[in-house]
Structure 1
């Protein structure tokens, strides 16, 4: 049986951008959720988190990895992702 390395992932909704206007939010969506590390990265499916069919590939370790995700043609979510190897 292979050992699977795990990363603890935190995702923060830093801001919503509506028609080009940024509104700061600062809401934590998930904290220290375990994700398997594959080739030095974690793959995060955003559908259960934000309801959009998008996948992020985040290097491990990462601190404040920024990603902008379109929620609709007018609304974009600005995310900050931290991925640290689990102890």
Structure 2
């Protein structure tokens, strides 16, 4: 899976005019991996924030009597699955 992805990146980088040496290739690949990892971390932060808002609203509904505690717990478990 990852081998083909790296092979595709490799092909694009070597065909570009800005990647003439192995050092250029390493720099470009490192930068792409960094950006990919940063994007993954940002997506995780957004997902955790959304999950936190969901838990908050479920707890408020449970305390206000709109939901039972068991219904709120079931909704949280469903959201994490």
Determine if the TM-score, normalized by the shorter chain, exceeds 0.5.
no
Which of structures 1 and 2 has the bigger CA Rg?
Answer: 2
Higher relative contact order (CA 8 A, sep 6+): 1
Name whichever structure is richer in strand by fraction: 1
Name whichever structure is richer in helix by fraction: 2
Compute the TM-score of the two structures, normalised by the length of structure 2: 0.24
